[in-house]
Structures are given as C-alpha cells and as structure tokens.
Structure 1
Amino acid sequence: MDLYSRKIISWVLSTTLESKCVIEAIEKAKASRNINNPLVMHSDRGIQYTSAAYQEATKNFINSYSKKAYPWDNACIESFHALIKREWLNRFKILDYNHAHRLVFNYIEAFYNTVRIHSHYGYLSPNQYEIVYKEGLNKLYLTAG
C-alpha cells in the first residue's frame, strides 16, 4: 500500500506465509512504480519480512518494522485487511483458491483502487488522488520552468 494515496500497489494471494510470495509482491510493486530510488518499506516482524530473501529484495529500501505485538504501527494495511473482509469477502462462501483470487482481484483492481472513495483525501479513489497529485506536480514544474 502506498501510504500517500492508500493505493494497493501490488498484491499476491498465497496459501502459505513463505517469503517467496512477499518477494513476488515486492518485485511487482517495483515494476509497477518503476522504482529507481530507495523507498521506505514498512512491515510487521513476520518471518517472511525478516528473511534473507526479503532483505535482498529490499536492500535499496529503508526497512521499517512495527514494534513487536503492536499492530497499530501497521494500522493502514491492517485497516485495509479488515475493510476487504467486511465490504467484500464476507459476502461469499469461498469455494477454492481460484475463487478467492478472483474475489480479491475484483475488490482491489476493479473497486478499491479505482472507485472506492476515501475521506482521507477529499473523497477521491486512490487512482483519482494520484492523478490529481501528478497534475499538480506537472503544473508546478511548468510554472517553475
């Protein structure tokens, strides 16, 4: 999740807590944002986030970790997890992994990032908020140039 726009940048659904799934999500996020500069990567202290593979995948990032047994440090993503369950997943009897994947995809890609408004930034969707932000930057650069 991008904490500025609350957009879900990348996600992977998995049946395990293996670090390879976290690495896949990180690599997808890097590609989608064309990341060249270090960013802050915040996570809890789960074993998949403290593994050597995770450290390698985020070696150019500033790694930030929640305090032990303190989920409030990760409140934004914890809130998102509660939201997807409450607004979407709890409405269905999930039949299998593929069904779960389709449900998560539909919620994130076709609703949360594109349609669902957030009071945090003027009742815009995360995609809309990023567009407004980028337009503001373009105007600033054009004015300064």
Structure 2
Amino acid sequence: MQSKHTQKIHLSDQQRKDLELIIRKRKSGQSLVLRAKIILAGAEGKSLLGTAKKLKCTRETVTRWRKHWVERSDEQATLEKLKEAPRPGTPPKFTAEQICQIIALSCDKPEDHGYPFSHWSENSLAMAAVDTKIVPSISQRQVGRFLKSGRHSSR
C-alpha cells in the first residue's frame, strides 16, 4: 500500500536505465546522483520522509525534485529533467567574449599595446580593457577574478 506521503513516479524503461547510469557513472556530480536516487526511490513507491532519511537530505529536497520530475515533459531527456531550472536574477555584466578578450590581453606584452611597463597588474589590465573598448568599465578585482578562474579551468 502506498503512503499518502508518497508521490508516485512512473518511469519508462529507458528513463530507469538513464537514472541508473547516472548513479553508476564516476563523473556524475553529487547533486545529479542525489536527484536520480530521489526519482528512482519515488518510482519504487518509497515515502518522502523515508527517502530523505536514506539519502541524508531534507524532505523538501525530495518533494522538490519529485515535483520537478512529474511536471517536466516526458519528451525531455532524462538528464534535462534532472537539471536545475534557470534562476531569475541580474544577467551577467560581462559576456564570455569580453572575458576571453581580457584574458587574451593578459597574455600579450603591455609594450605591444603602448604601455610603458613590462608586466600586467590587475589594475593596468582593467585600464587597458577600458582603453581598448573591450568593456566600458571594470574593476581590478573583477579582472583578478577572471584571471583566477582562467587558471583553475586549465588544470
């Protein structure tokens, strides 16, 4: 008998295989694995509270992801149904192209751009990004964040 605290989820064979693959894959992110386990537990008729306890997450998390799964179209790929919905908020101030141009500028010699120094500082890069009209304005701290994130992504 199904508990009143259970939101029954119906899965196609392909969806079940996809979810099980996500759980088994070594490269799957933890949040994605958790969502897949939540959906599989729902398909097995497990209660919200029991699933939350077993997976060491909140009941609200289980409820939210089961609700997302049910509300999203079955025509969507399994992975798409498990993705976080886009969040509202301010759009990014800088485009990916602008960020790439600033990082590329940092690879050039300052002398090549008419500056009288041999190495870039975050402040001089910010100034050069404005001078070369890559961006209308930018802080040295923001330039530093771009450069730092660029270093981490290449490792």
* Greater strand share, structure number: 1
Larger Rg: 2
Instruction: Give the TM-score category using the shorter length.
Output: under 0.3
Relative contact order higher in (CA < 8 Å, ≥ 6 apart):
1
